[in-house]
Structure 1
């Protein structure tokens, strides 16, 4: 017990224990489609946005990053009815900066399409399902074929437009935490031993 009597040693071991507490991923930054840019899908992959949305699990706190050339493309958030009919005349939100960051701050299904006429009809559209508990999978049917009532009350959930923080498809807060923990542990190891 004399070993743990020194305040420096006790502090060191307490910090070591804190560093090895398993980290929980708090949120992800998804680059939409894992592509270079938001654009009209190639003829060989017309359902790329549906497939991408179905293969990812989205939670409250995640962000969607849409990258596109602002002189040629734009992004609109629309209602379910507008999404199904490709009607972009009355969007919930309109973005044209080329680096659109959409913050998911609540549950629901969020519908996006190009703000350029005709692109939606060429399947440049995305539906993202976010469950209320953050753990369940997407609905079993494709978002564009979901049955639903046309409701005039829909969540307007979008965040401010921001520059991209990373070009990676998804960036985990836990990976940053782990890197910092390793650096702090190494520093403490050098100081106390």
Structure 2
């Protein structure tokens, strides 16, 4: 009986470990400050500095009043170029980084002089390591592994009941 409890405990630990696969993270840009024009220059650089962005992660831009966000080139970021291709509407938009993203991404607000006043964000996206899998396949791998573990644990429990 004692061996059965130990085996079941090990299986529970293994199942929990399998659930910890690669998961996408949603970041609210600027946290409680949001994506706003009344931010000091450099605020978004500081906000992003201690975060690790990966493909599949989502950046949620939330603002009050008029606002938008544009994913731009480094040159447009540096010059606060008023590009016409922006995400807007309502008081929030989300931008999901492509699964294969790697390297810098740049975002600005093109309303009035918001970008020049510091409403701009530069992030560095790191590629997934070989042991990590993209989010789309992580859930199917996890689900398959979990199914096998549940079947195995049911078999072991049934074995020790007899």
The CA RMSD over aligned residues, in Å, is 3.4
Which whole-Å deviations, capped at 9, do the CAs of 1:84-136 have from their partners, x for residues lacking one?
10112343x4323322111011223111111202111101100111023469x
Instruction: For 1:24 and 1:41, locate their aligned partners in 2 and report how far apart those are by CA, in whole Å.
Output: 38
Out of 18-27 and 117-126, give the one that drifted further.
18-27
| Alignment counterpart, residue 118 of structure 1, candidates 100, 113, 118 | 113
Are positions 1:86 and 2:85 aligned together? Answer: no
Aligned with 1:128: secondary structure? strand
Aligned with 1:123: secondary structure? coil
Contact 2:57–2:97 (CA<8 Å) still a contact in 1? yes
Aligned with 1:97: secondary structure? coil
Are positions 1:30 and 2:27 aligned together? Answer: yes
Cα 1:86–1:59 shift into 2, 3 Å = same
Which whole-Å deviations, capped at 9, do the CAs of 1:26-63 have from their partners, x for residues lacking one?
12111101124210244xx4211011122211111111
State the match for 1:174 in structure 2. none
Query: With structure 2 as the length reference, what TM-score do the two structures score?
Result: 0.64
Q: How many residues align?
A: 130
Unaligned runs of 5+ in 1: 136-193
Query: With structure 1 as the length reference, what TM-score do the two structures score?
Result: 0.55
Cα 1:73–1:134 shift into 2, 3 Å = farther
